[in-house]
A and B are shown apart, each in its own frame.
Chain A
Amino acid sequence: MIKYAQWNVPEGTDPPLLADRKEPTMQASPKAAGQTSSVTVPGIHLEKITVLRAGKVILEDITVSLNEPRIGIIGPNGAGKSTLVRLLNGLVLPNSGTVQVGNFTTARAAKRIRRDVGFVFQNPANQIIMPLVRDDISFGLKNLGLAASERLRKVDQTLEELGIAHLAERESHTLSGGEQQMVALAAVLAMDPRVIIFDEPTTMLDLRNRLRFQKEINGLNQQAIVVTHDLEVLEDFDRVLVVTDGRIGFDGAPGDAVDFYRHWSAQ
């Protein structure tokens, strides 16, 4: 069972630093071996969100709170899944409504929110910025203002934890798809985010790498929000949203959500 903590967002106050706040802790149910049992979440709330692009409605009137440790988002192509998760760290700003992460709104503090909300994109090749793996992981830490020695320590630690220390000195373009995805995850994890969003992370991976990556996601100490077409990834998740035609068509347990999606797709 999951105990859901409530995140009360004070209105009309300046956002305090995250470090000054007391965090709610989500106690996730024990899952497979290696999975986390305690995940701290900042509390994400979307209120009456509408997103338009070139006059077309991408998302319409979405109100939802995302407070569980593992949340999946599924739905057909073009339904608005990627736009929905891009709202969560301010990569996309809504035309109306608010996105609140902890005490911050993306409209006012997107850069601040990005420190807490990491993002792993579908194509890791385009997410790796620097020519060398070590420098790429260090890139985000530099943006956080960490000193060179601290960056070096953090890079080594993260690569070690993910079991990819041997990739540290490799040139980014020589990595395989699976290695690139692990490096992209390492680059995000090194920044110690509290939420990690994955946008179709397993689409470009073979079965071996998919299983490995799935294990990594399940074992994270952070809240994970995963957009995927890979329904098996969702088996142990706490909650799954089905996005259809710019709306949340279903919101519930993974099994029920997948049943709903299959039924909806067959129509």
Chain B
Amino acid sequence: MIAAKNDSWLALVPAGAKFAVLLLVSIGLYLVGHWQPLAVALLVSIALLLSAKVALRQLLWPLVSLLVIVGIIWVLLGIQTGWEQGAVAALRLLTLCIFAYTVSLSTTFDQMLELFQKVASPLKYLGANPAQISLGLALAVRFIPELKRVYLEVREAQFARGLHNNPLAVAVPLVIRSLRIAEETAEALDARGYDSTTTP
């Protein structure tokens, strides 16, 4: 999920602070062993999510999937270790995920990349370029759906030619088309003034 423009109070909090709090909350949740405080934490996380003014429609399917997974975990752990222990694990996971959704949906992708770049900045002493790594991350997120589309097109074309379930027949054109996309994207990066030598 990528955050849309958000004008809530949480969107104004720096991304670094939000992720730092998320890290601390994650650790804290694992130190709590009773379901009652975890239930309170869950309510707090829901309140935070609502205050973040995120598009609930965007969250609907992820939340439904999450509830199904958490439900399965509760049942399995309930049978194996007891219902209270199952509830502790389920509440912990649910609370953590809702906190994570709240942070990620109130932080733009651009802010996340900038944060990632800062966090990865020590890598420059090892010869790596954090700006390039950050761009690579952005390109991966951007082009995964694009590559999926190309894959479906290639598979459809191969099916139309009678090549059913032939991984090689799909893989070769997929790789060739991916390389072409990579070449064109590299050209676009140059054309749009990206300087690969820049470091933060």
Contacts and interface: CB of A to CB of B under 8 A. Distances in A.
**Chain A partners chain B:** yes
Given A168-B5, A169-B5, A173-B145, A129 B139 contact: yes
A121 interface: yes
- Category for how many chain B residues contact A: 20 to 34
Interface in B131-147: 135, 138-139, 141-142, 145-146
Interface in B104-145: 108-110, 135, 138-139, 141-142, 145
- Most A C-beta atoms less than 10 A away, residue of B2, B142, B145, B194: B142
A168 B4 CA distance: 9
B193 A191 contact: yes
Interface in A4-55: none
Nearest to B139: A129
B2 A131 contact: yes
B153 interface: no
A134 B111 CA distance: 12
A61 B184 CA distance: 27
19 contacts: A86-B187, A89-B191, A125-B146, A126-B181, A126-B188, A128-B142, A129-B138, A129-B185, A130-B109, A130-B110, A131-B142, A132-B109, A132-B110, A135-B109, A140-B192, A143-B193, A169-B4, A171-B2, A191-B193
A-B CB proximity, top 4 nearest: A169-B4, A173-B145, A143-B193, A126-B184
Interface of B: 2, 4-5, 108-110, 135, 138-139, 141-142, 145-146, 149, 181, 184-185, 187-195
Given A129-B138, A131-B141, A132-B2, 6 more contacts: A127-B188, A127-B192, A129-B185, A135-B109, A143-B194, A171-B145
